[in-house]
Amino acid sequence: MKVCVLGAGSFGTSIANVLAHNGHTTILWGREKELITDIQTKFVNTLYLPDFNLDPNLTATTSLDDTRDCDITFMAIPTQYIRSTIHEYSISLTSPIVVNLSKGVEQRTLLTGSQILEQVAGISSDRFCVLTGPSHAEEVVRSIPTAVVVASTNTEIAQTVQRALMNAFFRVYTTTDVIGCELSGSLKNIIAIAAGIIDGLKLGDNTKAAMFTRGIAEISRLGVARGAEMSTFFGLAGIGDLMVTCNSVHSRNRFVGEQIGKGKRLTDILAGMKSVAEGVITTAAAYDMSKNYNVEMPITEQIHQILFDYKEPMKAMFDLMSRSSKSEVWW
């Protein structure tokens, strides 16, 4: 097939590399001319994945004309910039299948990726997939065994994407729970920030395990309230992605939390990062959603106060531990 990936960040590049490895005619589009030239001539993403050689069959371009007539278009643009990028570059998503790779919830509108693309680009549910799961770009590009899930209400196109990506090191499962996969991939970044704060404070494994477990409980509560299937939160999109994001040295969101736990200010942390830490904005969006849907999310509430109200992390931890007692059945 001819496939294109819009967005030459780390994950977009790694997925483009998988597709090129699988023998597809693969076009990777990006805005930074120098970066795209490096990918095209050196087969290295010098900005986001400088230590890894890319498949020589991968074509990189700054021209959207090169991305026309693709069988599948993969969107690797951070959630908060999907709307503005489509408008700024007049991107026309005419492919029969559109797959969103980004994880997050748009802050102002509280829309997921599928909802943004439907609103801005007219992408109907029978053309849309979301790809998510525990898949750090730094490992995908090295062909380290990875398992992900692709979700669509249209089983046929989900299976088409599955076949396009599957190989001996990249395994793809399918599901119909689009909203569950979108929210799992987005909300776990909040818990990853919390896990990073715990690492920064050097509180230990007990604390992190509790945060991990209670974190999946509260994000699944919100997900079910928004129509997701509970089982999704205990699969690759949920626990799988949560585990890798809370523990990996590659996790941008865990890194943000760790730096906060060490006493650094959020503005300074974000200013020094190349890639987007989606969890910061997602925390604000999830906090608003929890109020709109009347879902109790104590960890999200405390992370919101740490990020935006400058609450001391240890005070937030004390407030979480001092809440009224409950049964664990209260998932």
The set of catalytic residues is 188
Work out the end-to-end distance of the chain between its first and last CA atoms, rounded to an integer number of angstroms. 44
- Within 10 Å of residue 315's Cβ, how many Cβ atoms? 12
Beta-carbon neighbour count of residue 121 at 10 Å? 17
Q: Which two tokens stand for residue 76?
A: 């690797």
Give the distance from CA 6 to its chain's centroid. 15
Residue type, 62: T
Within a 10 A sphere around the Cβ of 266, how many other Cβ atoms?
Answer: 17
Q: From CA 313, how far away is CA 325, in angstroms rounded?
A: 21
Residues 283 and 50: their CA atoms lie apart, in Å, by 30
Handedness of CA 165, 166, 170, 173 (dihedral sign): positive
What lies within 8 Å, CB to CB, of 328 at 6+ separation is: none
β-pair type (128-132, 146-151): antiparallel
